[in-house]
């Protein structure tokens, strides 16, 4: 007798059960890691699901949902076409439910031209099942509850100022250092990607919501960091400031410069009413992997990646 798979494409009437499963998942994540927010609007989620153009796969056991898997397939200028799943994009009661869901979803994603699947899983316990299915960790989301003040003193000759669009050249040079630390070979970027990076950076420097923090030592750029209020993000608390693009000139490293800059920035953030800070780092960036936990940041979610095509085609 041929076994009929319990997996099918989700339909409108599944939205409420899926939302219930997601709410339970997030509450579970938040009880393991309080830096994860359990906030979840079922109504907004159901609406987003109804309007999504990508399918959601559900495991339906005689009318009872035992899991779901959703991925948005998007083109990425650097990595090609990939499928992305957030912390609310999946749930499963048993591992074989996950296997069934993946089998169906992979087929559909491949047909849609996707070369890889990226998924956010709760740091620690949440990653194991994905690792066992051939996923490799790519990057980490880390958070810190802001209980200031963050005391700091600048040594003689150090000066922190707010940068502006006229600092684009400096920002580009620091960005190249970050790419290098993340294993992106600069000559691997196409002219288009380089122009894209430059226009993204120019936009960031001109954005009134973002702050560009620049440290100069005796008048020369020595370190930078960008901050902005984190837009609503599944699993993140409200009033979170995002810290990104942290970089220190190689000649100034391991002297506490990045630590002092981060403390100065967090001190301002507390004064501005932020309650949490969030960062991201690549798993193979050794400096960042040691630096952020040393500042008190704790991993919340880990992004994992699995190729959907034979390795040779996965650029
Ligand atoms: C990561 C980076 C910003 C750290 O700047 P820094 O001014 O050297 O950092 P600090 O001196 O304040 O370091 C504080 C602590 O972080 C850890 N740390 C920092 N750099 C480290 C490294 N390369 N390897 C291991 N641990 C490191 C150490 O615990 C260090 O304390 P210690 O020096 O007493 O051992 C800097 O190496 C850099 O610009 N790297 C390239 C860009 C980058 O990767 N940015 C992060 C993107 S997420």
Give the pLDDT confidence of 226-277 residue by residue, as tens digits: 999 999 999 999 999 999 999 999 999 999 999 999 999 999 999 999 999 9
131 in the same domain as 18: yes
Cα gap 208→290, rounded to integer Å: 31
pLDDT at residue 300 greater than cutoff 80:
yes
Measured in Å, residue 294 CA sits from the centre of ligand 1 at 9
Q: Which residues pair with 228 in a beta bridge?
A: 242
Ligand 1 atom 28, closest CA: 291
Residues 103 and 18 in one domain: yes
For ligand 1, mutation pick of 153, 225, 258 (most atoms within 8 Å of CB): 258
Examine the domain organization and report whether 26 and 119 are in the same domain.
yes
Mean pLDDT for 279-289 is: 96
CB 176 within 8 A of CB 186: yes
User: Ligand 1 centre from 286 Cα, in Å?
Assistant: 9
- Residues 37, 81: one domain? yes
133 lines ligand 1 (CB under 6 A): no
pLDDT tens per residue, range 98-144: 999 999 999 999 999 999 999 999 999 899 999 999 999 999 999 99
Looking at residue 197, its pLDDT comes to 83
Task: Say if 284 falls within a structural domain.
Answer: no
Residue-level pLDDT at 79: 82
If you average pLDDT over every residue of the chain, what do you get?
A: 93
Domain of residue 98 covers: 7-141+304-313
229 lines ligand 1 (CB under 6 A): no
The reply to whether 90 falls in a domain is yes
Please tell me whether residues 135 and 205 are part of one structural domain. Answer: no
Ligand 1 near 174 CB (within 6 A): no
* Residue 28's CATH number: 3.40.630.30
Q: What's the confidence (pLDDT) of residue 1?
A: 47
Residue 187 confidence class, pLDDT cut points 50, 70, 90: confident
What was the pLDDT predicted at 184? 80
Q: Does any domain span residue 35? A: yes
Give the C-alpha separation, 137 to 120, whole Å: 10
Could you give the number of structural domains in the chain?
2
Q: Is residue 45 in some structural domain?
A: yes
Secondary structure E strands in the chain: 7-9, 56-61, 64-70, 72-76, 80-85, 90-92, 116-122, 136-145, 158-162, 211-217, 220-229, 240-248, 276-282, 298-307
- In short, whether 287's Cβ falls inside 6 Å of ligand 1 is yes
Same domain, 16 and 109: yes
Please give the distance, rounded to the nearest whole angstrom, from the Cα atom of residue 10 to the centre of ligand 1: 46
Separation CA 221–CA 229 (nearest Å) = 25
Which residue has the CA at smallest separation from atom 23 of ligand 1? Answer: 287
Q: Is 10 exposed, middle or buried (0-12, 13-18, 19+ CB in 10 A)?
A: buried
Whether residue 66 is contained in a domain is answered as yes
The verdict on the CB of residue 91 being under 6 Å from ligand 1 is no
Residue 282 lies inside a defined structural domain of this protein: no
Would you say residue 283 lies in a domain?
Answer: no
Quick one: 201 and 219 in the same domain? yes
Q: Is the domain of 111 the same as that of 174?
A: no
**Residue 283 CB–ligand 1 contact under 6 Å:** no
The full length of the chain comes to: 315
- Residue 15 above 60 pLDDT? yes
DSSP state of 231: P
Do 108 and 229 sit in the same domain of this protein? no
* Same domain, yes or no: 114 and 185: no
73 and 193 in a common domain: no
Residues 151 and 53 in one domain: no
Q: Which residue is closest in CA terms to ligand 1's atom 33?
A: 254
Q: Does 136 map to a domain?
A: yes
Residue 5 confidence class, pLDDT cut points 50, 70, 90: confident
The per-residue pLDDT for 51 is 87
Lookup: tokens for 193: 């990607």
């Amino acid at each position: 007798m041929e076994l009929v798979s319990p997996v099918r494409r989700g339909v409108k009437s599944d939205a409420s059960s899926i939302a219930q499963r997601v709410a339970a998942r997030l509450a579970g994540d938040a009880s393991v890691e309080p830096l994860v927010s359990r906030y979840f609007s079922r109504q907004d989620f159901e609406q987003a699901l109804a309007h999504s153009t990508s399918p959601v796969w559900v495991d339906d056991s005689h009318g009872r949902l035992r899991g779901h898997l959703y991925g948005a397939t998007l083109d990425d200028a650097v990595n090609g076409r990939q499928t992305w799943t957030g912390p609310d994009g999946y749930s499963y009661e048993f591992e074989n439910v996950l296997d069934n869901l993946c089998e169906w979803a992979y087929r559909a994603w491949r047909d849609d031209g996707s070369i890889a699947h990226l998924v956010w899983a709760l740091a620690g316990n949440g990653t194991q099942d994905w690792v066992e299915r051939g996923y490799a960790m790519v990057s980490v989301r880390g958070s810190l509850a802001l209980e200031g003040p963050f005391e700091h003193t600048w040594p003689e000759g150090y000066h922190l100022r707010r940068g502006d669009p006229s600092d684009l050249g400096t920002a580009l040079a620091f960005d190249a250092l970050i790419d290098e630390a993340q294993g992106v070979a600069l000559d691997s970027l196409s002219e288009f990607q380089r122009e894209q990076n430059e226009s993204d950076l120019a936009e960031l420097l001109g954005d009134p919501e973002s702050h560009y923090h620049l440290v100069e030592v005796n008048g020369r750029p020595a370190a930078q960091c960008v901050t902005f209020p984190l837009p609503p993000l599944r699993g993140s608390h409200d009033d979170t400031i995002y810290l990104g693009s942290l970089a220190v000139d190689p000649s100034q490293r391991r002297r506490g410069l990045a630590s002092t800059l981060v403390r100065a920035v967090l001190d301002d953030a507390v004064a501005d009413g932020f309650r949490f800070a969030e960062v991201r780092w690549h798993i193979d960036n050794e400096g960042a992997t040691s630096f952020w936990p040393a500042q008190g940041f704790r991993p919340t979610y880990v992004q994992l990646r699995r190729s959907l095509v034979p390795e040779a085609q996965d650029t």
